Each structure stands twice: as structure tokens, then as C-alpha cells.
Amino acid sequence: MLMRQVAEAFQSLELTSKRSEMTRFLADLFEQASAEDVDILVYLLRGRLGPPFEAPEFGVAERLILVTLSDAVAMPPCQVEALYKKKGDLGLVAEELLPQERSNLTLRDVYDTLRQVATATGAGAQERKIRLVSDLIKRSGGLEAKYILRMLQGRLRLGVGDATIIDGLSEAAGGDYGLRLQIERAYNLCSDLGFVARTLFTNGPTAVEQIGPRVEKPIMVALAERLPSPQQVINKLGRVEAEPKYDGLRLQLHKDHDRVRFFTRRLEDVTGMFPELASAALRQIRAERAVLDGEAVVYNPETGEYLPFQVTVRRKRKYGIAEMETRYPLRYFAFDLLSVDDRDLTRESLLTRREELVKVLRWRADDPIEVTENIITDDAAELERFFQDQIQRGLEGVVVKRPDSPYQAGQRSFNWVKLKRAYRGELRDTVDVVIVGYLVGKGKRAKFGIGSLLAAVYLPQQDKFRTVTKIGSGLTEVGWMEMKSRLDELRSERKPARVDSLIEPDVWVEPAVVVEVLADEITRSPMHTTGKVGSEQGYALRFPRVVSIRMDKGPEDATSEQEILEMYQMQQARPVEQPPDAGKPGKHAA
């Protein structure tokens, strides 16, 4: 497959914001690809060299790309830089400076060269990167070079999400909605859409249906809906299993003989950051191969108190790990078993999975890994008591689950429901929103160049982000400056294709940064697009303030539009009094 074909498709994708058109462009592109190329095509559509949990970073600084382009077009760097300042996009500069005639450069040529660039290390690595990229650009036409340089900068920004790629794959394979569901399920179980695409194009839909959990390939996490009270939970679900809800870091644990890996909900491999948990897993898990789902929480060993997420997330770092292990010890609470010794348990009931988990994991009082406490009940009063016990211990609340439910990877459903504390009828549950732009601001904050953030929630059915609020508080002065610096790296010259907004911010940014906010209430609003149908008003968060920056979440992990609509309905629900926060957790039983 020629890179020119790919670049022309990329250009078509870039020029539309209609998902139906994107799907058609992608289907046409996939139909032109060979089975040997379709996986790398899927990866490059997202600007990566592989699935997110194992794709190497390009490691090419902007200045190095500028020097490389200068070398490729035989033009002084100062002239290339002047053009860059004018256009604001090195890809557009390359498109202008390079000839537009077709080249014989193939998609495989580009992928293999970019992989060499990403994996170049040691003495002389920078020089090798420059030579490789320069040679690649010289072999490219202007259109191909535009997208190659954007990939290297991490600024491909075609407005295409995984959901739209799945639509394109299904259409290209001549499938109906049933095939789309098969592709989505397979992807949710292996988190490698390139692998799923190659399986589909090589062996057909039957092979896709057989894709299941694999050790060392992270599984998309199951997610919970919301309900306002224990009584409403029992009314909707009947008999339930309930567990404490920890304010920690969602981690998936993969054990393969003497090797242990940890993955975040964003599919990042964070294995090296938690050595004490890796050692404990080898000691405590009585299976050669297993995949566990759970929550890691920092605790105070002197008081036994669990510390908030903002403290736990400090453990997520690449350096000074031994010091952090001492300062911030971790406990890992396992609440699900997804695979054991190559047996797929995701289709089994929750109770079956938990029974297997208790058999597989052995723990004593001081072990870092343990199975979460639980109760099974159909009594609202008993669920209320269990809920209040968790609040007294300083936890967030409880997660309630259907005992007979399978593990729905990558899905939010009423198989799981989170029940969190409320107070005096106010909106006390936090909301995760995605930043899609910012306003420069006036007065005191104008000196920072940023005054407020335009934020959105996710609409998975359309693969869109719809605005729900503007945020102007919750960050320190340093925090605002750091936020601006981060958002400027995601700056877009026009509204991103996946953003649905009536508000025009001073600066658009690609949806990537997720922040947790607390608001006073949800109101109807003519200014925001969340929940907006026709001429009706949308929904908005009133007086939002930033609680934390959620580095562990991707944009598609943000609160969904449906959740906002449900939370709006829940605002009038009976309030649950909020007891004091502090408390000692004690130990859990199986």
C-alpha cells in the first residue's frame, strides 16, 4: 500500500467532522489495505507504532524535526523556522516546501523507518534519528511528509477515535451491527485494535469472536453507573453484592509465571513503579497465569488510614521509586479475576469469578494484596449500614454489583453501580471532564494567558465530546501556568472534529486532558451542548472547581453524557448525611 493513498485518506478525514463520512473514508482505506498492512494502518491512524501499552515513543524533539526538514529540503534552518512561525504547523511547512508529485513510498516503508527512529538509543542516536527522518522526507511527496511530521510531533489529530475505526473495520468487512459488536468486544478484551483488524482481515469474523483475555495484554475496565440511594439500588437490581469503593488507582495485575505487569485504565504499563506489589503477586497468587482487576491505595502504616487519590498518584513515577515505596506504601485490593491459567472468566458470573479469586489469592494480615470485603444482600437497610460503615472509614462509598453478571470489559452498565455520599441534596459526586479549549481571561489571570477552561463530557454513541461547563477555579497560580503549557502542546487551529460546542474559546485544544471537578449542581443551559436535542437547552455544571488532574484517565474515560442526565435526575433524591471523614479501615475478610 502506498503512503500516498494513506495521506490522501488522512486529508479527507481531516476535512470532515461527520462521523458517517469518516466511517466511509476509513472503510474505503481498509478495503485498499492488505491483511499484512491493516494492523500498522490502524496504529498509524492514532499516531502510534503499536497498541498504547507497548508502542515506543518517537523521542524526537520539535527542534530536531525542524533541523531534519531543513536538511531534507536543503534550506537554512532559519528560513524553515520563519515559515513554521507563520504557519504554526511543521506538517504544513513540509507540504509547501516539498514537491507534490506521487512517490513510491509505501506504508510499510514509513512504519519501519519510524520504528527505527523510535528505538534508536545510545551514542549517536540523535544523529541516526535525523538521518532516518531526513531520508524518509526526501522520498516523500509534500502530502505524505505533512502527516509523517505530524506523527513525529504527536499532532496527527484526524479527529478519529477507536469507536469510529471499529465502524470502518466493520463496514470494510461487509458486516452488520453484529460484526461491529464482535470487533468491539474483541478489542475490549485485548486492547490491541491493530491485532483485531489483522485477525479479521486474515481469518474472518469467526476468529475475531474467539479473541479472549491474554496475559500481558490489558483488558478494558468495566465501569459503573450511578444511583442515589441504597433503596433505589435494591429497587433496580434486587439481590446484590456490595464492596467498598476506594479512592485509589485502578490497576490491572497480570502474572505470567515469574513475570508480573501492571496496567492503568489508560493501558499504560506501570510495572516498574510498584515493585512491592510485583513481589507480593509472585508470592501470593497461586496460579501460573492470572489477570486480576483491583485498586491500589496508599495508606498510613501507623494509623491504617487510606490516603486520597492525589497522594496515591504520586507513586506513578519513573524515578526515585525506592524512596516513594518507603514514603507511600501501597495496598492492592483485588475485586475481580478475569483470567486464570488461560481460562477466560469474563463470561462467568461475578460470584463464580470471586470464588475463583479467593482460591487463587492467598493473603494474611500484613500482605500488600488482598481480596476486597463484600456482603450479599437484598435488604436496603443492610446495604445502607454497609455503605455508612465505608463512609465512617473515610472511603468514598460502595460499588454494588449484580451477582450473576459477566465482566463487561470496556462497558458502563447497571451490572455495576457506584453509590457515593451526598450531603444536603447538593451535587457531591465529582465529574470527570475533558478540556477542549481555554479562554485567555481578564484581570489578574490575564498575565498567565489563560482565564478559564472549556470542558466537555463524552458521548460514546457518536464518539463526540459535548461541552458541559467553563472552569475558572480550583487551580493555584502555578497550576494555571502548568495547565496552559500543557494545553498549548495540544493546541488546534480550528475546532477539533470530535468536539460539539456552541462556545468559541480563544484557543481550541485536542481532547486529551481529563480533570476531576466538583460542582454545586447541574442546571439547564442554552450555552452547552451536553444533552441538547434540537432547540432544547443543554445541561451544565454550575460553579465547577478542579479537584484533581486525572493523569490516569484518557478522554474516553470521562463522565458520559448519559451520566450527566442521570445525575441531573438524581439531584432531588433523598440526601444521605455525610459523617466525618477520618477513620481506620481495619482488615478485610474474604
* Residues acting as catalytic residues: 245
Q: Which three cell numbers stand for residue 334?
A: 483485588
CA 378 to chain centre: 34
Burial class of residue 322 (count of CB atoms within 10 Å of its CB; 0-12, 13-18, 19+): exposed
Number of C-beta neighbours around residue 519 at 10 A: 23
Q: What is the DSSP string of 325-368?
A: HHHS-EEEEEEEEEEETTEE-TTS-HHHHHHHHHHHB---TT-S
| Cβ within 8 Å of residue 384, ≥6 positions away | 230, 231
Question: Are residues 451 and 441 in contact, defined by beta-carbon separation less than 8 angstroms?
Answer: yes
CA 548 to mean position of chain CA atoms: 16
* Cα–Cα distance for residue pair 441/40, rounded to 1 Å: 43
Question: Is residue 283 within a helix (H) or strand (E), and if so which, with residue range?
Answer: helix 275-284
| Dist CA 132 CA 127 (whole Å) | 9
Number of Cβ within a 10 Å radius of residue 262 = 24
Alpha helix (H) residue ranges in 120-225 = 125-138, 142-153, 162-172, 177-190, 193-203, 205-209
Residue (of 551, 437, 496, 550) closest to 155 by Cα position? 496
Q: Backbone phi, then psi, for 319, in 5-degree steps?
A: -125, 160
Query: Distance from CA of residue 60 to its chain's centroid?
Result: 23
In terms of DSSP bridges, do strands 330-340 and 369-371 run parallel, antiparallel, or are they unpaired? parallel
Helix segments in 404-494, DSSP class H:
477-488
